[in-house]
Amino acid sequence: MLAAIVRHGDYHQLPDTPSAHQPFPLTSDGREQAKRAGCELRDMLDTFGCDLAPQIDSSNLLRAWQTASLMQSVLGEDRRGVAVKGFDALAERGLGSAANLSAAQIEAVIADDPRFASLPANWKSNSHFRLPLQGAESLMDAGERVASHLTAQMQALGQHSEADVLKLFVGHGAAFRHAAHQLGILAFDEIARLSMHHARPVLLEYRHEQGWRHIAGEWKVRRQHAQFRD
């Protein structure tokens, strides 16, 4: 029972905007990254001798859906019936009513609201911090949401699969890393130290009794002091 988690490819994003709920598409580089990811995953299927689960789970954000669809177009060349399905549960951390404001605008909103204290200096990267705004999540909230989705989907798949099988999940780097911590794959201090390459599969094994473990695919070492943004 294998799960491949894939961060979306490079996309058009607003500068100095910490919200990851940006509705913009992949760049040309991102589209090429997604196609290469399909080839890489096809090789992994051959290496591990697995069938591909017919449903690819994707975040509903456009860049993730495009990445999943381009991977599906590669994988579907020799595997019929593979389809992409979108899930809000795989989205990156949401900033609620501050979505897609710049960091400076968010800080000004908080400063102008007499109900709130000033934001901490590390508010964008603090795993446990949640903006005091309607609908906002912490990074750990997002990780818990994604971890629950991964586990539920793999448990359901295990009930119907007799052969070795690999299921593909396409989403976002910070949410996947925080999910990996929730699943016992990464230590807490590794969340900030590691990232994910654009459109490069990280392969996890799911064992119902023993839990999860990382078996293939490389995490990316983050630049020091880099902020979480996906």
How much is the pLDDT for 225? 47
- Average pLDDT, integer, range 130-155: 98
DSSP state of 97: G
How much is the pLDDT for 227? 57
How much is the pLDDT for 210? 86
Give residue-wise pLDDT tens across range 10-37.
Answer: 999 999 999 999 999 999 999 999 999 9
Q: Give CB contacts under 8 A, 24+ apart, made by 133-137.
A: 133/95, 133/96, 133/97, 133/98, 133/109, 134/96, 134/97, 135/94, 135/95, 135/96, 135/97, 136/94, 136/95, 136/96, 136/97, 136/98, 137/93, 137/94, 137/95, 137/96
How much is the pLDDT for 5? 98
- How crowded is the C-beta side of 137, counted as CA atoms within 13 Å? 19
Give residue-wise pLDDT tens across range 117-134.
Answer: 999 999 999 999 999 999
Give residue-wise pLDDT tens across range 60-97.
Answer: 999 999 999 999 999 987 677 899 999 999 999 999 99
Report whether 124 contacts 227 (CB < 8 A). yes
Phi-psi region of 81 (alpha: psi -120 to 50; beta: other; left: phi over 0): left
Looking at every residue in the chain, the average pLDDT score rounds to: 94
Confidence of residue 158 (pLDDT cuts 50, 70, 90): confident
Give residue-wise pLDDT tens across range 173-226.
Answer: 999 999 999 999 999 999 999 999 999 999 999 998 889 999 999 999 987 645
* DSSP assignments along 4-36, one per residue: EEEE---B---TT---S-----B-HHHHHHHHH
pLDDT of 228 higher than 60? no
Predicted TM-score (pTM) above 0.85? yes
- Average pLDDT, integer, range 107-111: 97
Q: Where are the domains of the chain?
A: 2-95+137-221
Report whether 33 contacts 197 (CB < 8 A). no
CATH number of 2-95+137-221: 3.40.50.1240
Write the burial class of residue 214 (CB in 10 Å: 0-12 exposed, 13-18 middle, 19+ buried). middle
